[in-house]
A = this chain, B = another copy of it.
Amino acid sequence: MSSNINKIGKSTVPRTAISTSDEHSITVRGQDLCRDLIGRISFTDYFSLLVTGQRPTKGDAMVLDATLVAIAEHGMVPSVQASRMTYAAAPDALQGAVAAGVLGCGSVILGASETAGQLFAEVHAGAGTGDLEAAAAKVVRRWREMGRPVPGYGHPLHKDRDPRVAALFRVAKEAGTSLRFVEIAEAVERVIPEVVGKDLRLNVSAAIPAVLLGTNFPLRALRGVPILARTASLIAHLTEEAVTPSGFALSYQATRELIYEGDK
């Protein structure tokens, strides 16, 4: 049978614990969408409920809101440019232009939140109840030996600490969530000059896991935070693009000094 080619992996029956529905109701994470959630819960709390299966505490939600606000918008960055150029070329398909922007949330730019979170989780496990700075030095050294960059430190524009870092740390303090991973992030920052040989300061991509890992938000969903946040900003940019087009102007400017170095 042709369909056997799709029998990849072990289970052949799909499962989900997120939601179900019948003709009269929709159940999400055990709650009635229309009665318990619409109008009763903010979108941020709902995002947390969808991902974790539980409503966040007030503090957890404050921190999640702050990280989404912090990372959503930073001007005409490459993913916004890609999105606006795509919209200019294909204005009938807003979803395509959003998707093109989302595709730029990769390992080099917005994905650093997730890898910084993994680094912090290793320091957390390695330190136990012991010294954070020693554990941080050990982990950073190990990552460097494996040829992995240290994610979340240094910024091409914000040479001092990225101003979003202090704002996020302030919110975590106000929210009363665990500061364990904030301390780890700062321990890593202190050991970087010696281990890496450069004075790289915390940027927003490290600050996000530093505050979120002190809440109920899971490490493995971390990359979702910049993706969701950036989607909000892409929609704003594309709404602007529909009225004040910049997509082709960006593309024109981008190639004004283009060097052709092939054969003529």
Interface residues of A, Cβ cutoff 8 Å to B = 1-9, 11-30, 33-35, 37-39, 41-44, 46-47, 50-51, 53, 62, 64-66, 68-70, 72-79, 81-83, 85-86, 88-100, 102-111, 156-160, 163-164, 166-168, 170-171, 174, 218, 220-221, 223-224, 227-229, 231-233, 235-240, 242-264
How far is it, in angstroms, between the C-alpha of A25 and the C-alpha of B157 when the chains are bound?
Answer: 10
Choose among B46, B88, B111, B223 the residue that contacts A9 (Cβ–Cβ < 8 A): B88
How far is it, in angstroms, between the C-alpha of A17 and the C-alpha of B88 when the chains are bound?
Answer: 18
- Tell me, rounded to whole Å, the shortest Cβ–Cβ distance linking A62 to chain B: 7
B224 and A239 form a contact (CB under 8 A): yes
A251 and B249 form a contact (CB under 8 A): no
User: Chain B residues near A238 (CB, 8 Å)?
Assistant: 224
User: Chain B residues near A90 (CB, 8 Å)?
Assistant: 93, 95, 103-109, 111
B82 and A69 form a contact (CB under 8 A): no
- Tell me, rounded to whole Å, the shortest Cβ–Cβ distance linking A215 to chain B: 14
B85 and A78 form a contact (CB under 8 A): yes
How far is it, in angstroms, between the C-alpha of A19 and the C-alpha of B80 when the chains are bound?
Answer: 12
Choose among B19, B69, B78, B103 the residue that contacts A6 (Cβ–Cβ < 8 A): B78
User: Chain B residues near A259 (CB, 8 Å)?
Assistant: 13-16
